[in-house]
Each structure stands twice: as structure tokens, then as C-alpha cells.
Amino acid sequence: MEKIIEAQGIGKSFGDTEALKNISFEVNRGEIFGFIGPDGAGKTTLFRIITTLLLPDAGRMTVMGLDCKTGYRELRRNIGYMPGRFSLYHDLTVEENLNFYATVFGTTVRKNYDLIRDVYSHIEPFRKRLAGKLSGGMKQKLALSCALIHKPGLLVLDEPTTGVDAVSRSEFWEMLNRLREENITIIASTPYMDEAMRCNRVALIQKGQILSVNPPEKIREEFSRKIFSVKSSEKYKLINALRNFPGTATAYPFGDSVHLTFRDNEQDHSLTGYLNSMGISDATISETRAGIEDRFLELMQDK
């Protein structure tokens, strides 16, 4: 399979802080590759190296067969980049922004309209509106349209869904899926674990290091223990009680429930009694499948 990105031993420091440590990974043509990790994990720095905005201190990176350092001119023609911050011109209208990026990349909106239609049609009714006056979700769609307008081979999206409501987020990922069918390779970063499931493969990244690279299903399977979902109407009390229970290995809040693992892996049946004695009577315990977040937390603990 053709490799779009090959990174070997990438390292980058800012003064004393090591932002990236010995990072290696490969991205295949036509996949959606996700980088999942908390803020400050090094995602933005890595993306800036991929987009030729920063040079790595160590290691080698080739993107679409070109070296990031020497081939930057050529690469910049063929990368669509959407930075983490909204980076369009607030004082230009939707249409003017799009036209500007089209001309800068030596193309026109009409030529590549088919590619962006799916995204742009949502905001086209507002094309005379100043970009600064758009809502968060619409800004993202405009930024994506601008990043796509020159039909790049690689689309780099740095936290594209941060600050966007849940519906728009889901819509956004559906659009990315359709773009993939146009043979555009997409790499995206996100702090949201649920979005990881939408990627073909994800890299879990933490403190400048990649913990694991796998398809999301595989990552969930990698979780080594039995995991239980505990629910109660008094969630705060519940999590404190679970953490104090002697048989608990880990207890993390997960949506409306708490994901729990036991010290000796098997379910400790004395838990119900314990919770009752703590004044939580409506707790339900059931075995569940580990999510990506569980695996992420497990990997972080192993470190």
C-alpha cells in the first residue's frame, strides 16, 4: 500500500521542553488517520512538522514521497491545512475567503466545486456574510472548504471539531468520510475519544510519544482486563465510593457511568453490599466492552 507519510524517529524540542520524542508512524493513501491525545500531547507540533511549518530536530519525515525539509515548496502546493485556531480572515466574507484561497493556490472555485459542494453547500446561503460572524460549526465548514479548494492530496486537520456542537461534529466526520472516497488522505487530531472510532487507524499520543497505532476496534481489543460499567443516580458519590472500595483497581467516569476494573480482574460480588453501606442503593453493575479511552488510560498507567 502506498505510504503518504513516513515518519522515523521524529524529535522536536522548544528550549527545555521536549514536545516530541522519537516518533515513528506511517499513513497509507486514502485513510483517515487520527491522532488522539490530551492537550499538550504534541499533536499540533507534529502537524506543523507534517505541513512543513516546523523542522524536526531529529528524525526524517517524507510526505507524499517528498522530504519535509527540502521538498517544502512542492509539498505546500499539495497539502490542505486547517490549523487548530480558526485561521480565516474575519473581515472578508465567506465567498471572498474561498476565492482568495482558490487564487492563491492557482485554481478557481468553479473548477473544484464538485469536491467542496458537500461541505460548502451548508454555508453557501451565507456567502455574503463576514467570516467572523459565522457560528463555530459554520466556521469549521468554511475552513474545511478553503483547505480543500485546491484538491490537495493530503488534508491535515488540527482539532477540527474543537468548540463545535455535537451535531456539527458528527456531520463533519461524515463529510470527511465522503472525502476519503475522493482518494484524499486525511489526518486529523482530536481530544475527543468518541471521534477516534470514525478513523481508519488512530495513534494514541501522550507527552510527545506515540503509545499505540492501530485501527480503533483493535485498540479496544487491546484492553487487557475485564471492565464493568457501574451506574447510579448519584454519580459523584458513586465514583468516590468505588475509588475507596478495597477491591477496585481503576474507576474512571465514562459518560453517564463509571468504568471499573477489579484488582483480581473478576467481578468482586461484595461490591453491591459495600455500595449499599455507603448509601448508594440503586447501583447497577454489568460487564461491558472497553472504549478507546479505557485503553488510553491503561496505556498511560503502564508508562
Partner 1 sequence: MKRFFGFVKKEFLHIFRDFRTLIILFGIPASQILIFGFVISTDIENAGIAFLDLSKDEISTGISDRICSSGFFSRTADLAGYEEADRVMKSGRAKAVIIFPAGFGREFLSGRQTTISIIADGSEPNTATLITSYASAIISDFNREYTAPGMTAPLPVQPEVRMFYNPGLKSHYMFVPGVITLILILICALMTSITIAREKEFGTMEVLLVSPLKPSQIIIGKVMPYFFLSFINVIVILLLSWLVFDLPVRGSLALLLAETMLYIMMSLSLGILISTFTANMQQAIFISLIGLMLPTILLSGFIFPIENMPKIYDVLSSVLPPRYFIVIIKNLMIKGKSFSYVWKETLILTLMTIVFLGISIRNFKIRLE
Please report, as ranges, the residues that interact with partner 1 according to CB under 8 A. Answer: 48, 51-55, 72-73, 76-77, 79, 81, 83, 85-92, 96, 99-101, 103-106, 146
Q: Which is nearer to partner 1, 92 or 197 (CB)?
A: 92
CA angle centred on 188, ends 206 and 288, rounded to 5° = 65
- Nearest approach in angstroms of CB 22 to partner 1 is 20
Q: Which is nearer to partner 1, 15 or 273 (CB)?
A: 15
- Nearest approach in angstroms of CB 91 to partner 1 is 4
- Nearest approach in angstroms of CB 112 to partner 1 is 15
Q: How far, in whole angstroms, is CA 283 from its chain's centroid?
A: 33
Q: Cα–Cα distance between 50 and 128 in angstroms, integer? A: 34
- Nearest approach in angstroms of CB 193 to partner 1 is 26
Assess contact for 7 and 35: CB atoms under 8 A. no
Q: Which is nearer to partner 1, 103 or 270 (CB)?
A: 103
- Nearest approach in angstroms of CB 78 to partner 1 is 9
Q: Which is nearer to partner 1, 51 or 168 (CB)?
A: 51
Tell me what percent of the chain is helix, strand and coil, each rounded to the nearest 5: 35, 30, 35
Q: Which is nearer to partner 1, 150 or 201 (CB)?
A: 150
